[in-house]
Chain A
């Protein structure tokens, strides 16, 4: 007590130190919050861009598929075959061979497998939840736990 009386600045330094500690803690939380929210914003923007990209790719794919179908249409293929010197086969010209065990297979799946669709279930909460929402959720969960 005597030491504090002869050197009151010691008390003041404790106060200043505590205040600075609080400021540093707040600054760290703010930095963390800024970092997390900016990352979430970037991830969100990337998702938006990827969605647009998927949509564009699907359109391009559909365009190419239609173009391919047009250049392999029955009329075009017949014209190309005739130009290459082929001619339609007559009934008597076919030769049939018995292949033991062979049976004509009908295709089971005629379309390609679908693209994976992103859905709510496939996006982890880390990518669509802010720090505050995470804190809210934790508080709500613990409150529920207490009840």
Chain B
């Protein structure tokens, strides 16, 4: 009996052992079969997914830390077609909350393109609208029977950042804008597009949580700090808008720069655009140069150029402040008659009188005495005909004809001396005049104060572009310009502050002839004369209240200069000199 049980046990053990062996063999065979390799390959395809991490675009601040361009969340709203329960409920909700056409939404859900499981209904949807839809989805889900799906099942929300400009149109010409594709246009946004956008990082992300997610380090785009003073910018824009009304000008530009280092403090232009509604660009501007005329619209500046001619004459030794000449009201240059603005003779004048009365004949006399080589050499050194290198996108170079050019005539030596036949942008003229206010050194205008990346700030140093005149010439000319303003009782004077400056009234060339009824009124000035801390340029296009820069641009200069000294905490000269003496 015991033998019989023993035999049965042995047989059972052998069978069980055989089965176990068969299982092991089969497992081993399957594991090492060609099919297994294919399956392993297929599994590995899903073990990782290639994901692109886009950094947040860097922010833009003014010099005092006010945010000028930031990012805000918006939503993409879509539908997962695999789990949609009630397309009509989705279409109704989306059409009510987002304002989309009901038929369009229902069509997108019910008649999708082949082979897609997700359809985007709307993008860049405001947070509030998206949140209301999300709340409605939750509400319908909670009201559904237990285990059943809510009416908005399948409606999906994905948030992503969008560029936002809290100051709306303030400084729009400086900042530029970013399209929905993420590309920067104009101003800082275009010039520093690559820096602001940062570098997207592609990484293989394991889908298996066992393989702990190794987060790739994605640095956000570089944050930029501008030299712009927001409050001064706001004041400049307000004063400019009021000036256009007061003087009936078509458009205008006000630029405030620190002549010691080229930092732009404000740059106001018209028209401006609300950067949060950049799609209105086409209805506001006719061409790209209108976006920021201060850097991209060259024009004949007129008499403001006389300070540069005088600087060249003084520096080259052609004249000194006390040099006199007899003004007969006209001079012949290159066979053409050049006259003063009033076509009258002014008798014996010294160089300060030339500037004070803005005498064309005096300037033409100086340029012809210097000779073309010297005169155009200085103009070239001042930067005429060259880009300033300002760090804003879209700068135009202007034009300075020189001997040898096919369209240069001998008379140009005379007319160029008082700003006719030469074109430049406001920023070019400021750069050209900067050595007069900065002890002979030319500054490169710039809008970037610092870059902040990965917690570190990199300050942008001032760049100098040569010394076209000596320190002595600069200080002498500044003094002459201050005296000329004071002697004529200019409307540009600011009580308590000594200002140097020059008006410009340039007739506008129309079909090859100058229209005496339409002018560009300009003023360039800086102060305090003994320690210049601001340089201001005013340009009013076609003012109708008066054609003269002395009656339109000069008072605008005084107004913005008064605001500048308050906002920059510049005490009146007497107090400042007392403070320095202490």
A107: chain B residues within 8 A (beta carbon): 65
B:197-228 near A, CB below 8 Å = 208-218, 223, 225
B17: Cβ under 8 A from any A Cβ = no
| Smallest beta-carbon distance B525→chain A, Å | 16
- Measured in the bound complex, the distance between the Cα atoms of B72 and A140 in whole Å is 50
B218: chain A residues within 8 A (beta carbon): 117
- Measured in the bound complex, the distance between the Cα atoms of B523 and A71 in whole Å is 36
- The stretch that binds B, out of A14-22, A24-32, A89-97, is A89-97
- Measured in the bound complex, the distance between the Cα atoms of B2 and A125 in whole Å is 59
B99: Cβ under 8 A from any A Cβ = no
B374: chain A residues within 8 A (beta carbon): none
Where the two chains meet, the residues of B that have a C-beta atom closer than 8 Å to any C-beta of A are 56, 59, 61, 65-67, 70-73, 127, 159, 161, 164, 166-168, 170, 208-218, 223, 225, 230-231, 233-234, 450, 452, 454-455, 457, 494-496, 562, 565-566, 569, 571-572, 575, 578-579, 582
A89: chain B residues within 8 A (beta carbon): 566
Tell me if A110 and B65 are in contact (CB < 8 A).
Answer: yes
Question: Using a Cβ cutoff of 8 Å, how many contacts connect chains A and B?
Answer: 125
Tell me if B454 and A114 are in contact (CB < 8 A).
Answer: yes
Q: Which of A44, A100, A110 contacts B213 (CB 8 A)?
A: A44
Question: A interface, how many residues as a size bin?
Answer: 35 or more
Mark A69-81 against chain B: 1 for CB-CB distance below 8 A, else 0. 1101111001000
Given A74-B167, A114-B455, A119-B217, A59-B161 contact (CB < 8 Å): yes
Tell me if B212 and A44 are in contact (CB < 8 A).
Answer: yes
Given A40-B212, A117-B215, A66-B452 contact (CB < 8 Å): no
Q: List 18 A-B contacts (CB under 8 A).
A: A37-B210, A47-B212, A48-B209, A48-B213, A51-B213, A65-B59, A73-B167, A74-B230, A74-B231, A89-B566, A90-B562, A91-B565, A94-B566, A98-B579, A110-B452, A114-B455, A123-B214, A128-B212
Where the two chains meet, the residues of A that have a C-beta atom closer than 8 Å to any C-beta of B are 37, 40-45, 47-48, 51, 58-60, 62-63, 65-70, 72-75, 78, 89-92, 94, 96, 98, 100, 104, 107-111, 113-114, 117-120, 123, 127-128, 130
A74: chain B residues within 8 A (beta carbon): 66, 167, 170, 230-231, 233-234
A114: chain B residues within 8 A (beta carbon): 454-455
- Measured in the bound complex, the distance between the Cα atoms of B556 and A122 in whole Å is 59
A90: chain B residues within 8 A (beta carbon): 562
Tell me if A111 and B168 are in contact (CB < 8 A).
Answer: no
- Measured in the bound complex, the distance between the Cα atoms of B170 and A66 in whole Å is 15
Tell me if B211 and A128 are in contact (CB < 8 A).
Answer: yes
Q: Which of B168, B213, B496 contacts A47 (CB 8 A)?
A: B213
Q: Which of A63, A67, A109 contacts B452 (CB 8 A)?
A: A109
Tell me if A66 and B215 are in contact (CB < 8 A).
Answer: no
Tell me if B212 and A127 are in contact (CB < 8 A).
Answer: yes
Tell me if A63 and B566 are in contact (CB < 8 A).
Answer: no
Nearest first, the 4 A-B pairs at minimum CB distance are A44-B209, A69-B166, A69-B67, A128-B212
| Smallest beta-carbon distance B254→chain A, Å | 16
| Smallest beta-carbon distance B126→chain A, Å | 11
Q: Which of B72, B170, B212, B582 contacts A75 (CB 8 A)?
A: B170
Kindly report which residue of chain B lies nearest to residue A126, judged by CB atoms. B212
Tell me if B209 and A41 are in contact (CB < 8 A).
Answer: yes
B208: chain A residues within 8 A (beta carbon): 44
A100: chain B residues within 8 A (beta carbon): 582
- Measured in the bound complex, the distance between the Cα atoms of B244 and A9 in whole Å is 115
Tell me if A66 and B71 are in contact (CB < 8 A).
Answer: yes
Given A91-B494, A107-B65, A127-B212, A66-B566 contact (CB < 8 Å): no
Given A94-B566, A114-B454, A70-B212 contact (CB < 8 Å): no
B452: chain A residues within 8 A (beta carbon): 109-111
Tell me if B72 and A63 are in contact (CB < 8 A).
Answer: yes
Tell me if A110 and B214 are in contact (CB < 8 A).
Answer: no
B70: chain A residues within 8 A (beta carbon): 62, 65-66, 69
Which residue, A42, A45, A91, A114, has most C-beta atoms of chain B within 10 A? A91
- Measured in the bound complex, the distance between the Cα atoms of B73 and A68 in whole Å is 14
- Measured in the bound complex, the distance between the Cα atoms of B208 and A89 in whole Å is 65
Tell me if A62 and B210 are in contact (CB < 8 A).
Answer: no
Known interface pairs A74-B66, A111-B452; 13 further A-B residue pairs with C-beta atoms within 8 A, sorted by A's residue number: A40-B209, A41-B209, A45-B209, A47-B213, A58-B56, A62-B71, A65-B67, A65-B70, A74-B167, A94-B566, A110-B225, A110-B457, A119-B217
Tell me if A117 and B217 are in contact (CB < 8 A).
Answer: yes
A60: chain B residues within 8 A (beta carbon): 73
A42: chain B residues within 8 A (beta carbon): 209
A58: chain B residues within 8 A (beta carbon): 56
A51: chain B residues within 8 A (beta carbon): 213, 215
B231: chain A residues within 8 A (beta carbon): 74
Kindly report which residue of chain A lies nearest to residue B230, judged by CB atoms. A74
| Smallest beta-carbon distance A17→chain B, Å | 18
